[in-house]
Amino acid sequence: MFKRRDTSKTLEVDRLRQLIALGPALVAKLDLDAVLNRLLETARSVTGAKYAAIGVLDKQCRELERFVTHGLSQDQERAIGARPRGRGVLGALITDPRPLRLTDVTADPRSSGFPAQHPPMRSFLGVPIIIRGRAWGNLTEKRTGEFTEADEYAATTLATWAAIAVDHARLLAGAGKAVGAG
């Protein structure tokens, strides 16, 4: 029993280290795609997720204009086809931006299903990424079992780092364009 508790503590310390190291690493990146990919890689690692994705809302904050994934092969991405627009469970994250943890996403009444070639998903964790009052969505799919409260906390922490890093990358990109134009 002592060994099990020690292993659990080691995993939590590792998760905390990853979350702490992520912030400065994200802010150091100037490219938005690099920021999003690093964030998704860390999201998978700290939650034990098989897949992670970030949905970027349009300017009206009504639907997703961009959807970036991590954990899918290029063949899987192509087979899935069109990206989600923010309906169903993803739409719930847009209209009610707060953490959403589901044991079986397919059984949720808000679920609008998946494309035919989409990998099977059951356990779902979505957290909003709020940037200057604008919500983004982050979702991950658990490898085995359900997401825990600790996973939700880690994902919420990631969302906070993401908001800071994405806003920073956008501001730097805007400043670069202004300098280039002047």
Length of the chain: 182
Give the whole-angstrom CA distance, residue 79 versus residue 110: 24
Q: Which of 14, 18, 10 is nearest to 161 (CA)?
A: 18
Residue with tokens 């209209």: 95
The pTM score is 0.78
The partner residues of 102 in beta bridges, in order of sequence, read: 124
Query: What structural domains does the chain harbor?
Result: 14-177 (3.30.450.40)
Digit-coded pLDDT (tens) for 2-11: 344 456 777 7
Digit-coded pLDDT (tens) for 83-139: 877 788 888 888 888 999 999 888 999 988 787 878 878 889 999 888 877 776 555
Least confident of 1-10, 36-45, 104-113, 162-171: 1-10
